[in-house]
Amino acid sequence: MISIGAVFHGPELKDSKIDLAILAASKIIKSHRGALDSIKTPWVNAVFVVSGSMADVDFECLEFGDYSIENKGVVVKIPVPRKIRERDNLNELVIDSLRGANAMAFEFFRLKGEEFPLREAEALVTKVADGFRSE
């Protein structure tokens, strides 16, 4: 399963293009996924880390963050540097990043001997892509 989070390094990012794209994707996923506290399978929290006036992103590729053994959740951090945060088509960035987070989670849990529900997580990302196309 998948969820979306964000860390914005500046107050000017509220209602920015990247903020709105992440929020839209999160709403679509929540409407199809249900509550996280009811999930019993391994899941990934895809967290977009967005450069702003208070700090810049200090990594270039998707990377792992925290892992919780008790609730089987892993964080995958997604960098959004200044140069791309105001692009016109951020929907593609969001979709590609979510697919990358799913792939990382699949491998992470495979190495731990657990089964990440990749098919279901990818179906949610497809719902996001479909929702973006219908906007």
Taking 70 as the threshold, does the pLDDT of residue 37 lie above it? no
* Cα→Cα distances 18→81, 90, 123, Å: 11, 7, 22
What is the rounded average pLDDT for all residues in the chain?
A: 91
| Integer Cα distance of 18 and 14 in angstroms | 9
Taking 70 as the threshold, does the pLDDT of residue 73 lie above it? yes
Taking only the tens place, the pLDDT of each residue in 118-132 is 999 999 999 999 999
Taking 70 as the threshold, does the pLDDT of residue 32 lie above it? yes
| Integer Cα distance of 86 and 16 in angstroms | 8
| C-alpha 82 chain-centroid distance | 18
Q: How many CA atoms lie within 13 A of 42 on its CB side?
A: 23
Domain boundaries, the chain: 2-133
Q: For residue 63, what pLDDT band results from cuts at 50, 70 and 90?
A: very high
Taking 90 as the threshold, does the pLDDT of residue 89 lie above it? no
